[in-house]
């Protein structure tokens, strides 16, 4: 289970003794709250003991013991999301940028993301590789004045690091060089990978939209209707990849982007499968309004509706995202790309969605920024407050219904252990580099012997 400071428990917002008005200005509560999205009325409300469907919620959440693991894993990601400032920093930079003047660099970014998705598809890597790379690229390089060639090389460096983090597939640097049409020498690629690894201080783990989507799908699955299926994940990945191609995608917290993708995916499924429940659950540490969720979902749907059905030009920014989706769903008639496009056109016509799209993306990014600043960032360290009720407790053996966890280290020993982690990783990296250097020198010797023998 690890350090208890990294654990949160889903809370019920109605009965918490640690309400915000009873805390001092120094203490800021961080709660993981279960929200319920009602697909019949497009409402999004936190679950409390006063909710009209409280008993239904309690029965569904208690149905399997597996949900304890789902809550813990989701809460670990939410806490990681709260502790990192990448999203806030990029949203501020994006809002301050005159996008018309940066249109050329943003179009180049779209081409790079499409190219990275293509590399992921060719090597059968995990779905989250390109998403992780894009988040790192936006956090450190996008809209920061890099030349196109340097930007592409750094994007490849991030991709190689992330691919090693998520996969056991080993792709040679010569192969990556060919993916760039030999624009980069393998030595340049190896150098930028080592440079970025040190620049990131060996810490490049981020919460990702795909991870939240899979957890939400599993949380809302029932015995009659399994949502965490390959074709449903492929549909969600299509929406996430389409969003990642846009420069504004990294302006939003992964949990919020995942919720918008979940709304799109389940609304699409409800047209095909009548067994999909109309009540679905989401875990957040922020209280996002339903207008923000639907507005972000509407922007994604609007882009998908305008995509070509079967793109044949690799220069099209959605070429590989569509190819990746068709690889999984080409044999499913109801999941064809044209059927998805038709659904997206109908979704955008909704009055609430259309109203949010009319306000513009800057309005949605500004809303998200204000929510993040109010929820996470204070001049003093916040405390983590969790509260649950007996019915909503996914772990019925737990006796404590509430607990307060200081978000500061309790022992010096834990600090020393944290400091040792990057040191151990550095030793591993040095040893790996030495082994790689020995292999290179051995190959050179073999080639020299072959040349000498051919001359003799």
Domain boundaries defined on the chain: 4-84+207-406, 89-205, 422-456
Predicted local distance difference test score (pLDDT) of residue 434:
59
Provide the β-strand partners of residue 372. Answer: none
The whole-angstrom separation of Cα 250 and Cα 112 is 15
Confidence of residue 320 (pLDDT cuts 50, 70, 90): very high
140 class by beta-carbon count within 10 Å (0-12 exposed, 13-18 middle, 19+ buried): middle
Query: Mean pLDDT lowest for which of 47-51, 92-96, 300-304?
Result: 47-51
Count, in order, helices (H) and strands (E) of the chain.
Answer: 17, 7
Predicted local distance difference test score (pLDDT) of residue 187:
94
Predicted local distance difference test score (pLDDT) of residue 318:
93
Per CATH, is 89-205 categorized as 1.10.472.10?
A: yes
Q: How far is CA 118 from the centre of its chain?
A: 19
Predicted local distance difference test score (pLDDT) of residue 66:
54
Across 98-124, average pLDDT: 89
Predicted local distance difference test score (pLDDT) of residue 433:
60
Per-residue pLDDT of 248-267, as tens digits, reads: 999 999 999 999 999 999 99
Q: Which of 213, 208, 215 is nearest to 74 (CA)?
A: 215
The whole-angstrom separation of Cα 253 and Cα 82 is 9
The whole-angstrom separation of Cα 60 and Cα 54 is 10
Averaged pLDDT of the chain: 79
Does residue 11 contact residue 31 with C-beta atoms inside 8 Å? yes
CA pseudo-torsion sign 393, 397, 402, 403: negative
Confidence of residue 191 (pLDDT cuts 50, 70, 90): very high
How long, in residues, is the chain?
456
Per-residue pLDDT of 125-183, as tens digits, reads: 998 999 999 999 999 999 888 888 999 999 999 999 999 999 877 889 999 999 999 99
CA pseudo-torsion sign 279, 281, 287, 289: negative
Predicted local distance difference test score (pLDDT) of residue 15:
38
More confident residue, 36 or 414: 36
Predicted local distance difference test score (pLDDT) of residue 50:
66
- Rg (C-alpha) for the chain, rounded Å, is 24
Q: How far is CA 413 from the centre of its chain?
A: 32
Regarding pTM above 0.75, the answer is yes
């Amino acid at each position: 289970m690890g350090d208890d400071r990294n654990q949160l428990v889903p809370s019920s917002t109605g009965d918490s003794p640690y309400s915000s008005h009873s805390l001092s200005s120094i203490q800021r509560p961080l709660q993981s709250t279960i929200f319920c999205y009602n697909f019949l009325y497009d409402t999004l409300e936190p679950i409390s003991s006063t909710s009209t469907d409280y008993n239904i919620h309690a029965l569904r959440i208690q149905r399997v013991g597996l949900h304890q693991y789902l809550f813990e894993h989701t809460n670990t990601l939410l806490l990681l999301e709260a502790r990192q400032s990448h999203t806030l920093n990029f949203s501020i930079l994006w809002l301050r940028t005159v996008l018309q003047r940066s249109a050329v660099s943003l179009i180049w970014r779209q081409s790079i993301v499409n190219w990275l998705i293509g590399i992921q598809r060719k090597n059968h890597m995990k779905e989250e590789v390109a998403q992780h790379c894009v988040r790192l690229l936006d956090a450190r390089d996008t809209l920061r004045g890099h030349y196109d060639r340097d930007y592409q090389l750094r994007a490849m460096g991030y991709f190689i690091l992330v691919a090693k983090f998520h996969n056991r597939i080993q792709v040679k640097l010569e192969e990556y060089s060919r993916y760039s049409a030999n624009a980069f020498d393998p030595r340049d690629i190896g150098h930028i990978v080592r440079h970025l690894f040190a620049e990131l201080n060996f810490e490049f783990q981020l919460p990702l939209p795909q991870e939240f989507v899979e957890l939400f799908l599993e949380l809302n699955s029932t015995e009659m209707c399994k949502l965490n299926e390959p074709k449903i994940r492929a549909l969600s990945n299509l929406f996430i990849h389409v969003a990642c191609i846009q420069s504004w995608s990294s302006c939003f917290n992964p949990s919020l982007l995942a919720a918008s993708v979940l709304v799109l995916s389940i609304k699409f499924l409800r047209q095909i499968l009548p067994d999909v429940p109309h009540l679905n659950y989401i875990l957040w540490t922020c209280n996002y309004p339903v207008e923000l969720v639907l507005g972000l979902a509407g922007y994604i749907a609007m882009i998908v509706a305008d995509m070509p059905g079967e793109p044949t030009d690799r220069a099209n920014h959605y070429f590989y995202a569509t190819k990746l989706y068709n690889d999984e769903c080409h044999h499913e008639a109801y999941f064809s790309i044209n059927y998805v496009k038709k659904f997206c056109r109908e979704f955008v016509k909704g009055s609430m969605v259309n109203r949010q799209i009319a306000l513009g993306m800057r309005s949605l990014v500004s809303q998200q920024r204000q929510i993040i600043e109010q929820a996470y960032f204070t001049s003093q360290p916040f405390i983590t407050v969790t509260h649950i009720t007996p019915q909503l407790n996914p772990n019925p053996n737990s006796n404590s219904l509430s607990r307060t966890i200081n978000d500061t280290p309790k022992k010096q020993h834990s600090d020393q252990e944290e400091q040792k982690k990057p040191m151990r990783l550095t030793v591993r990296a040095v040893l790996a580099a030495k082994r790689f250097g020995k292999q290179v020198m051995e190959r050179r010797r073999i080639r020299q012997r072959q040349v000498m023998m051919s001359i003799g």
